[in-house]
Structure 1
């Protein structure tokens, strides 16, 4: 028996429509691996490439012999639209690798699904179409998608199954890859699934999208109840609101073994139910003044519980620059004690701290090279308390068991406040990003994280939900959607148009390929 040849690849970018353009340098700093380099990375204990690829491979290796074909994995986390020439290059490299490997028996891709480019408004759809054009209509093409994907009809039309994450924070990436491996095996045996797709005119605020509880947890649970011997997968993906693209909107995808009518009925039912709950998807933020007061109290009274403050409006995981100083300046001026800020993206400041060395005292100039309107400058006397190369292996949450590079990193002390300054833009979702600087997180009175929600899986052993404060300050990833200067989002859409009404149309079904 010949071993089936399955091509593996990844393209992951979440594009904030109002953030600076994503460059090749950003991808290379995060993950740009091709061929043998991708194969070697996935064989290490702590790979950089998507956990979806690792999960798919492990599940496939548990079955009959197969042959993986390694193409390209390009990841930049979250940023602005990708430079078109960079995206074109990624597509060209993927297509060339596929053509060189033909004939193929299947393709698995770990995608994010919320990318835009400086020209192409649907890069994920374009990439899937190019893959389909190479392998033809009969070869299974499966992909995982981030829960914050903005799904297009083109994406659905070109894939046999799109499998969205069901946890936020996203700790199930490997499991969803494994789920795709099971469907791939079934398709190699002759199964031809059907998929239905429903798009809601609804962009829920990011802080109402946690899946441990609340309206999104209810929506996920409602969808999962339809899984049975016929319904293979239900993906309820909230979308990335700040993509500001015609693809914006919560999406429902239902994949069945053979029954298109069943897929359509289930997708329509789920879409209608979620729409009926739309008023529950709200956000509640704490003012900067109240947050500062709470941090002061936590620092002065060790009998009070420590607190975690989330700067949700400057989340690098959503395209934020990771360097606004609104909370930092307020805490410093108020005299807050025992606070740690992480992680502040400022390559120039990190380099200066490394040049001056441990114990140096100097005037720290934050954001001297930044031009974004929210990234205002801030100056304060600081002491260099720790220096590292910024290379960490995650131990919790979304980065568990994976290598993450922050670039040269420094811990600065400003009065009773410490700031972790990094060279590469990342969100603080992993304890080792702070612990590697010698900090004991359990001794911290206030931790400020530049993250929207992934920190919850990294720090939940210390800070329970009742001790997490989401702070209302400006930024590129604001969850107050009325503040966003929308350009391309389709209208009307809820909650921007709160009085609108909507009835789910008949969900679209993908024709069987090669039948």
Structure 2
């Protein structure tokens, strides 16, 4: 029974998913409609379906709430787009207006769950996630519990933390714990409904690590996450401890690693002590957030050796062109180098080129033609041509089987598998911008991944959870090729990122919050 005496609490569900890369073209309404724009009761139906295109935490929240007892879901809007530029302001206004109307119509509410990515921004709003949380709080009032979950690649604002009762961030990268974090969010919401009271402590560090150092199997970030989990196990007063790595490509004043600790019984001193301990370790070990990448030349040499059987099969991350971080998925530096070198047994994907994919579909399977990649060039997306044969054509629709996409629908748009003549290099083409982090994106085109000598993925890190059955850690290599998501942060002309910040600025300093004096 909730604090209002109801046995079936009325819970609003909503979310905005976008990882905004300030260097990419703006995100428009069509980007949401092509990936996920779901409203009202359709959210409930999809959340309880076997598979859907919605973010995994929505289904995870429903499952946990259903298992815990009666509740009345009042779903409003789930909007998710591929990572790209800031949302066009009119689109954000439309979403916020729709959510505001839905919340007002749903009153009285007993609670709210916000399932957002946390790294969104808009062309006229640098803190769109904070704006959304503040809007929810303003409409439901101070007494209604609000719980928010975010991706660990989020940029957290003070306004957001102040607007919610509990904040929960992912703890795995690649992200395979979205449903678990949603279940955690549901548990905290049930706690609040039963009369619980939380306090939160928040710290931001002048530390903006490249995303390739934010893995959670091992490394500096993994150690921080393990410390946070230990705090939660060892002290029952700590309801949640979230260390977020941030998303530096948003280029915003709120970028940077953050620590948010939620403590039970209003124990602010407990929350602050835990947050300060995590932040101090993160800052003391900031030098670990440096990672060496292979050059394109080194990667090509390694691929040649693998193709000749002199090295075990390898997988390359074209991390500078990751559609999962706002990259366009169409840079050709690695493609050209591997083809011209004649590397054998290479598969590359997903290369995003709607015009080329359409031409392949028009010509049909078996056709030979001069493939022109990037016939319309841009800063990083340079033209590349090669004689090619169409091996397979697909509609691009599938359901993931492993890792971050397990059980989730994906859509590459009209897709094709090309073989470049002269090298035999195979390229999976897509029409919709998606990162390659799910084996079925290759397998649906007839690619036997286990037989490949070198696989190149347009993905920064999520591919690790999908392809680990083929490539152990010692055969995974990140390549330093140009693009909108290059891990080499010095490559970018930063405008809004607070400086100095480590590792861009070696001399960056952190001043502990005033309340930390004597702790």
d(CA) in 2 for partners of 1:507, 1:51: 37
Q: Hey, what does 1:239 align to over in structure 2?
A: 246
Asked whether 1:92 is paired with 2:97, we answer: yes
Asked whether 1:428 is paired with 2:440, we answer: no
Q: 1:333 aligns with which of 328, 337, 340?
A: 340
Deviations 1:252-299 (A, max 9, x none): 000001201110111111111110000111111011111111111111
Asked whether 1:135 is paired with 2:140, we answer: yes
Per the normalisation by structure 1, the TM-score is 0.97
Q: Hey, what does 2:198 align to over in structure 1?
A: 193
Figure out how many residues of one structure are paired with residues of the other and give that number: 506
Contact 2:399–2:407 (CA under 8 A) maintained in structure 1: yes
Pairing 1:381-396 to 2, within 5 Å after superposition: 381-396=387-402
Deviations 1:111-139 (A, max 9, x none): 11111110100000001111111111111
* Offset, 1:55: 1.1
Q: Hey, what does 1:22 align to over in structure 2?
A: 27
Deviations 1:123-167 (A, max 9, x none): 000011111111111111111100000111111111111100000
Q: Hey, what does 2:297 align to over in structure 1?
A: 289
Tell me the SS of whatever aligns to 2:83.
Answer: strand
Q: Hey, what does 1:178 align to over in structure 2?
A: 183
Tell me the SS of whatever aligns to 1:148.
Answer: coil
Asked whether 1:151 is paired with 2:151, we answer: no
Asked whether 1:266 is paired with 2:274, we answer: yes
Per the normalisation by structure 2, the TM-score is 0.96
Pairing 1:347-496 to 2, within 5 Å after superposition: 347-370=354-377, 372-415=378-421, 416-496=424-504
* Structure 1 residue ranges without an equivalent (≥5): 509-515
Q: Hey, what does 1:512 align to over in structure 2?
A: none
d(CA) in 2 for partners of 1:75, 1:126: 17
d(CA) in 2 for partners of 1:460, 1:263: 37
* Offset, 1:482: 1.0
* Offset, 1:39: 2.2
Contact 2:330–2:353 (CA under 8 A) maintained in structure 1: yes
Deviations 1:73-112 (A, max 9, x none): 0001311111111111111111111111111111101111
CA RMSD of superposed structures (Å) = 1.1
Tell me the SS of whatever aligns to 1:362.
Answer: strand
Q: Hey, what does 1:513 align to over in structure 2?
A: none
d(CA) in 1 for partners of 2:302, 2:18: 36
* Offset, 1:10: 1.4
* Offset, 1:500: 2.5
Q: Hey, what does 2:3 align to over in structure 1?
A: none
Q: Hey, what does 1:51 align to over in structure 2?
A: 56
d(CA) in 1 for partners of 2:512, 2:349: 43
Change (3 A) 1:325 1:419: same
d(CA) in 2 for partners of 1:490, 1:304: 44
Pairing 1:56-95 to 2, within 5 Å after superposition: 56-95=61-100
Change (3 A) 1:125 1:507: farther
Change (3 A) 1:351 1:194: same
Change (3 A) 1:49 1:506: farther
d(CA) in 1 for partners of 2:30, 2:369: 30
d(CA) in 1 for partners of 2:446, 2:258: 43
* Offset, 1:15: 0.5
d(CA) in 2 for partners of 1:344, 1:202: 32
* Offset, 1:222: 1.7
* Offset, 1:2: 4.1
* Offset, 1:300: 1.9
d(CA) in 2 for partners of 1:24, 1:369: 23
Tell me the SS of whatever aligns to 1:309.
Answer: strand
